[in-house]
Amino acid sequence: MVFILLSDEVVGTLGEGTFGKVAECKDLHAPGNRVALKIIKNVEKYREAAKLEINVLEKLKEKDHENKYLCVKMYDWFDFHGHMCICFEMLGLSVFDFLKENHYIPYTLEQVRHIAYQLCYSVNFLHENQLTHTDLKPENILFVDSEFTSVYNPKKRRDEKTIKNTEIRLIDFGSATFDHEHHSTIVSTRHYRAPEVILELGWSQPCDVWSIGTIMFELYTGFTLFQTHDNKEHLAMMERILGSIPYRLAKKSKKQKYFHHGRLDWDPKSKAGRYVRDETKPLSRYIKEPDNHDHTQLFDVISKMLEYDPRSRIQLKQIFRHPFFLRLYEADLVKSVDLSKNEDRSRSHSLSR
């Protein structure tokens, strides 16, 4: 396995994090062929997380030889002096990094439709195989190729980019969890965290669906739906945007300190209360073109994904029937999603078996 280090030349660093770094490497035996090498710190908890990610990626590969389901392709992995190293296909920028580098100019509705459609398709594959990603966010959705065209905006005195190809891949399976495995109490990056996780009600695949709803909103508007770092403030934002948290969920929550008689204990006149009021509004008021059917359909999908009760939240296998996505399905992209199957059928072909 050390062959990779001997046969590859490090070109540069693609990114760094608490886990370690990702380096761009050139395969010296195949000029022009680039790979991304994720190098994990020699720290036990990161090594263990890397092993779990490798296990998930290997099982995904077993079920998807042709890489139809848009999960990042792992070429190889090895242990180099205590550093777990995972070799991936080379991809472009994340949808978040492209947005950031483009002055947070939102993606067009058609771009949002295509990106979200692919994301639903990929994550549905995980769900059908009893796996929850648990960390869906714009940073973990990468363009296959982030080439763009650029036009100068004289009013704002800046270049504005348009991505050429919206084909994506899903990455970062380090927190992915099979149904039979231990479920950590808290999962997901804060802004994309579902209410059942915050309320400690237990979670499963529907928490991914919530995350996708928030991601779709962010791609469409250019900003994060729940811009907060505090649990109670997060819940208050949800109520401002989506309406009151259902009484039955509040009463079941292990976080009773957030509630009083089954209602969120929140002062809208406080400093935090004013922030929530000023920064958020009901979901429907974010629609840019309320008279445009495509825009209202998008928000209908998002609202179904942002149902408080995970049992009522739309499942991804139902998403392809929605008018917002049906045209893409009929045009082709995902003919392997069988819309005729019974929604309540037991899932088979588990990756974990």
Rounded Cα distance, 110 and 136, in Å: 21
Strand pairing category for 158-163 and 74-80: unpaired
- 38 in a labelled binding site: yes
Q: Which amino acid is at 42?
A: N
DSSP class of 321? T
Rounded Cα distance, 223 and 14, in Å: 24
Comparing CA positions, the residue from 333, 310, 350, 304 lying closest to residue 122 is 333
Which stretch of DSSP H or E encloses residue 302? helix 293-305
Q: Of these residues, 8, 135, 172, 208, which one is catalytic? A: 135
Start-to-end C-alpha separation, the chain: 27
Query: Helices marked H in 20-128 — which ranges?
Result: 44-63, 95-101, 109-128
119 token code pair: 């994301």
135 catalytic per annotation: yes
Contacts of 353 (CB under 8 A, 6+ apart): none
Rounded Cα distance, 54 and 206, in Å: 24
- Binding positions are 38
Active site residues: 135
- Binding positions for ATP are 38
